[in-house]
Amino acid sequence: MDAINDNNRKMRGSALVDPFDRAINYLRVSVTDRCDFRCVYCMAENMTFLPKADVLTLEELDRLCSAFVDRGVRKLRLTGGEPLVRRGIMTLVSSLSRHLCTGALEELTVTTNGSQLKKYAAELANHGIKRINVSLDTLDPDKFRAITRWGDLKVVHEGIDAARAAGLAVKINAVALKGVNEDELPTLLEWAHGNGMDLTIIEVMPLGDIGEGRLDQYLPLSIVRARLAERWTLEDIDYYTGGPARYVRVAETGGRLGFITPLTHNFCESCNRVRVTCTGTLFMCLGQDDAADLRKPLRASASNDLLDAAIDEAIRRKPKGHDFIIDRRHKRPALARHMSMTGG
């Protein structure tokens, strides 16, 4: 199958390989900068969102994603903002699913806060989506409201239930927040594994001004892991989803536990991904400012020649890695843009 795909790709366009010999086969697309939550570590309460004219249409997003698929992208994740609040999102999912049917794309997936899953879970499954990530930092309704500012935990639970009923594998993503959910991480693990879901814990990253200090939120996962290891047996496994998490199996539950550690241990050397925002800006690294405008070449011509050239030029500039630091001397955001812009 891989040989057939390689041949197909050779016929379409050359694969994307960066200056450090890393093949770029994973694209994350933020389909909207808007969200129906205002998580305290992600956004300020009063965010200014982009004017609609700046945002790519669904057709343009499809064309852009498809251009990357033609260049060897095998995994496509729709994110945001909240991807499922983008009007007409299922039209995009449906049209992108053709790449699953041809075998050009190995996986089409979504990262969501779960608020709209009850409505969309069955459709996602019908369009060939097999696994989704749901972001959930606490199982306490009041804490959930405090973290998300606007969210309702009951609605998210209903969404997760709908996703599982539709046959989607659900992975829970939780950001570790000092003094907020650190005591609850064992409960989250028991709940996720008890319900047949993997759990990934994420270090908070210094992205965007959120109106409060990062140092107050930052909890190194080295500490989290050591604490979990006092209670459970964490066995290293070589399970790999193509993303940034490193996994262990929890012997007692049989479930998988992932760690995303951009601060205490980055895995930039094996980075295989790039990110596009809903305005068609390509970020070659989540943790660097350098970017390329793909909207201009996309809109300049109906053929993909200009777009392909702009993608090539950008991949040639993909940096070696990021260098996030959160400590007393580095309290300001490393980057001005919020995670909701680039997509987590």
The residues of the shown chain that bind ligand SAM, judged by CB under 6 A, are: 35, 39, 41-42, 79-80, 82, 111-113, 135, 173, 175, 202, 204-205, 207, 339-340, 343-344
Of the pair 257, 311, the CB lying nearest ligand SAM is at 257
**C-beta of 316 vs 331, nearer to ligand SAM:** 331
Question: What strand order describes the sheet that includes 273-276?
Answer: 234-236, 246-250, 256-260, 198-203, 169-176, 131-135, 107-112, 75-79, 26-30, 273-276, 281-283, 291-293
* 85 versus 311: smaller Cβ distance to ligand SAM: 85
Instruction: State which residue has the least CB distance to ligand SAM.
Output: 344
C-beta of 324: minimal distance to ligand SAM in Å? 9
Task: Between 80 and 243, name the residue whose CB sits nearer to ligand SAM.
Answer: 80
Is residue 132 a contact partner of residue 124, using CB atoms and an 8 Å limit? yes
Tell me how crowded residue 233 is: count the other CB atoms within 10 A of its CB. 11
* Closest CB 258 distance from ligand SAM, rounded Å: 12
181/272 with CB nearer ligand SAM: 181
Q: How far is the CB of 194 from ligand SAM (least distance, A)?
A: 21
Q: Across-strand partners of 172? A: 134, 199
Shortest distance (Å) from residue 15 CB to ligand SAM: 27
Look up residue 260 and give its two tokens: 């995303």
End-to-end CA distance of the chain: 30
Cβ distance to ligand SAM smaller for residue 206 or 255 = 206
Closest distance of CB 51 from ligand SAM, Å: 20
Residue among 5 and 279 whose Cβ is closer to ligand SAM: 279
